[in-house]
Structure 1
Amino acid sequence: MDTKQAHFNEMPKHPFPQKRPDVKIAESDDRIFEVDCPELQWWFAVPEMGDPHLRAEYDANTLELDAIVEITPTTAAIIRDIDCVELRVREWLAPRDWPAVCPPDLIYATLNDTHTRWISVVDMIDGEAVFYTIGDESFEEQWGGPLKRRIVDDGRYQLQTDGSYKITDGHGFGAGTYDVTIGENTFHCLRVLDVDISNPHGGELAEVFVESGGRTIFFRRYDGRYLRGHDLVSKYPNNRRIVINDIVYVHSDCSGWAHDQLTSESLRPIS
């Protein structure tokens, strides 16, 4: 079987421990109603020149380090007359039987006062750069159109007595305010639920904790119960679940496992 591991095997220098730090999440009455998030959602890097962004993926059950992703701004660029920034992507994976799903080698993206936007992604195939670019067929369907930096909590997710959620007439992705403690650092965060509700069996759900300054600290991916063609509740009876509009989402991602993701922002000292 071809594995993702064959494509990426050099670990970049990184600050993350081998075992996931203790993570505590507590709801807060000190509400955050909106944040300005300049990141590519949900890749966590800001498309502007600056320091590399790193994230760590930990197996949610063993808490062992499973993957490191480094995204480095390398140069300003112009793609189809759009000013943007080139971002180089490097990934290290622990030895496991990963599915053959690889991130792009390069990303081109842009940022303004209100939105971020994917412009192009590049895969290196047999030494040649293959571009998939805005304006190409299905590009925005796969990578998304302009992404609003402003994320609001307008009551879209109404908590029910059984712990599930119903979607109201609100349009924001915010779903409450939480204090997230990672190791010795505590961040005041807007909880974000970015969910695909168009799939009758449940699509993908991102649970994201964005600190008040607009940077992601902690991230989990969930799949709809039957998204992968089998019952994820039966496969992972002990994994976390979120229920929205009676659809069950199970903590699991396209790797086939559940991961807790920490960003390099989560390790910065709190002033």
Structure 2
Amino acid sequence: MSESRDGLSVVLWRTDSHLCSREDNCSSAVLSSSTSMGTILQQCRGVRGLAPGHRFRTTAKSPVRARDRPLYGPVMDTSTTVVFPETLPDVHIDVLEETTEHEVVCDELQWWFVVPRAGETSAARWYDRASGQVTMMRETSHPVMPFDDGSGRVRIRIDESTFPADGRGSDQRCVEFTARLSSAAAEFRSVEMDGHVTGPDDDGFDEAWGRSRGRVLRDGRRLVRTGPREYSSLCHEGIRADLVAVSIGGITRRALRVLDLEVGEEPDEIGQPVIDLDTGRTLVYWQYRPEDWDADAESWLSAHPEEGMVIDGVRYQRRNCTGRDTVALTDHAVRLFGL
């Protein structure tokens, strides 16, 4: 995968659709009945992959333009089988307009790629950028189900399969949400993970799950570019959004590339979704971590000089809490680009 910055094409490698803290250790985290809910919410929220040679089929809906989607009720489009590529396809991103005036309506639970609306489905695969192999698969186990109480809430079940780098087999788990799509945002209302259920009344829930960027995503005039892959803050809230052209398999679409920064001055993990302008759905996604979160950051950044960025003097690595440099490809990208 490559991205054009300052007129140059550079190799991109980085993702996983979850948030992690500097204390995260995804491969060895152990939860017990005595673990506090705040600690649980700080655990890594994603997993890693699949074995080579597997054909990745999933059932997902045809894309619907963002402005045509209802807030509530089923989406009346036809479910079809999506076949994911066995290896990471070539993905090229060219910047068309920095800090663009363009905006996009995105109804997804950020960044789990599913819309909390009855009848919706979603799927994604994470690929290791060095090998091109799938490291994680995630998909809804059945269409999103509504509550029958008129509240607009829905139930979502997501199945994950992870394939660690050491080849020791696969790990599976199920994550269940209740959620709601309001006029302002897609909102998590409860999360069940690893045998624990948490909601808005629990410590740490708002920080881990409750902060939505809203349905309408636009540049917040937060960052100004000061050099190749270097930025300085103008304020400490909002997102950075650039208009880009995404090319996969010979097809090009316009999208909004978002740096999803947390509120405040403290360095934190940064998600980078690339969202289709027409459909409002995420196409690809990866993450960055501050250099002081990982003991081997210096050696990693030295070995990957074109695969990080600097914000306010802090260097960021383009990799997730497992130490792997991965990129997520969604079912919407598979369909829109004819993969």
Structure 1 segment 245-264 matched on structure 2, within 5 A: 245-264=312-331
Contact 2:120–2:144 (CA under 8 A) maintained in structure 1: no
State the AA in 1 paired with 2:331. S
State the AA in 1 paired with 2:177. I
Contact 1:53–1:70 (CA under 8 A) maintained in structure 2: yes
Number of residue pairs the alignment of both structures matches? 262
Contact 2:288–2:316 (CA under 8 A) maintained in structure 1: yes
Partner SS state of residue 333, structure 2: helix
Question: Who is 1:152 aligned against?
Answer: 218
Deviation at 1:231, TM superposition (A): 4.0
State the AA in 2 paired with 1:133. G
Counterpart check, 1:118 vs 2:188: yes
Question: Who is 1:66 aligned against?
Answer: 135
Determine the C-alpha separation between the residues in 2 that align with 1:98 and 1:247.
Answer: 34
Partner SS state of residue 328, structure 2: strand
Determine the C-alpha separation between the residues in 2 that align with 1:234 and 1:212.
Answer: 37
Determine the C-alpha separation between the residues in 2 that align with 1:95 and 1:144.
Answer: 29
Partner SS state of residue 18, structure 1: coil
State the AA in 1 paired with 2:226. Q
Deviation at 1:73, TM superposition (A): 3.5
Change (3 A) 1:181 1:227: same
**Unpaired runs of 5+ in structure 1?**
none
Change (3 A) 1:267 1:98: same
Contact 2:249–2:337 (CA under 8 A) maintained in structure 1: no
Deviation at 1:169, TM superposition (A): 3.8
What's the C-alpha RMSD, in Å, of the aligned pairs? 3.3
Question: Who is 1:21 aligned against?
Answer: 89
Q: 2:197 aligns with which of 104, 126, 131?
A: 131
Question: Who is 2:112 aligned against?
Answer: 43
| Higher RCO (CA-CA < 8 Å; seq separation 6+) | 2
State the AA in 2 paired with 1:13. R
Deviation at 1:82, TM superposition (A): 5.1
Could you state the TM-score of these two structures normalised by the residue count of structure 2?
0.68
Higher strand share: 1
Q: 2:276 aligns with which of 211, 225, 233?
A: 211
Change (3 A) 1:103 1:210: farther
Question: Who is 1:180 aligned against?
Answer: 246
State the AA in 2 paired with 1:114. A
Cα deviations across residues 3-56 of structure 1 (Å, max 9, x unaligned)? 998xx9999733211110001111114955211110111111111122420111
Determine the C-alpha separation between the residues in 1 that align with 2:186 and 2:133.
Answer: 32
Question: Who is 1:108 aligned against?
Answer: 178
Structure 1 segment 237-248 matched on structure 2, within 5 A: 237-239=302-304, 240-248=307-315
Determine the C-alpha separation between the residues in 2 that align with 1:233 and 1:103.
Answer: 33
Contact 1:192–1:208 (CA under 8 A) maintained in structure 2: yes
Determine the C-alpha separation between the residues in 2 that align with 1:101 and 1:243.
Answer: 34
Could you state the TM-score of these two structures normalised by the residue count of structure 1?
0.83
Contact 1:84–1:111 (CA under 8 A) maintained in structure 2: yes
Change (3 A) 1:256 1:175: same
Partner SS state of residue 260, structure 1: strand
Cα deviations across residues 179-224 of structure 1 (Å, max 9, x unaligned)? 0112233220111001237475x32011121111311111111111
State the AA in 2 paired with 1:165. Y
Determine the C-alpha separation between the residues in 2 that align with 1:172 and 1:137.
Answer: 24
Deviation at 1:172, TM superposition (A): 3.7
Contact 1:217–1:263 (CA under 8 A) maintained in structure 2: yes
Contact 1:197–1:203 (CA under 8 A) maintained in structure 2: no
Determine the C-alpha separation between the residues in 2 that align with 1:97 and 1:146.
Answer: 35
Contact 1:68–1:93 (CA under 8 A) maintained in structure 2: yes
Question: Who is 2:259 aligned against?
Answer: 193
Contact 2:162–2:172 (CA under 8 A) maintained in structure 1: no
Deviation at 1:258, TM superposition (A): 1.0
**Unpaired runs of 5+ in structure 2?**
1-26, 30-45, 59-82
Change (3 A) 1:143 1:113: same
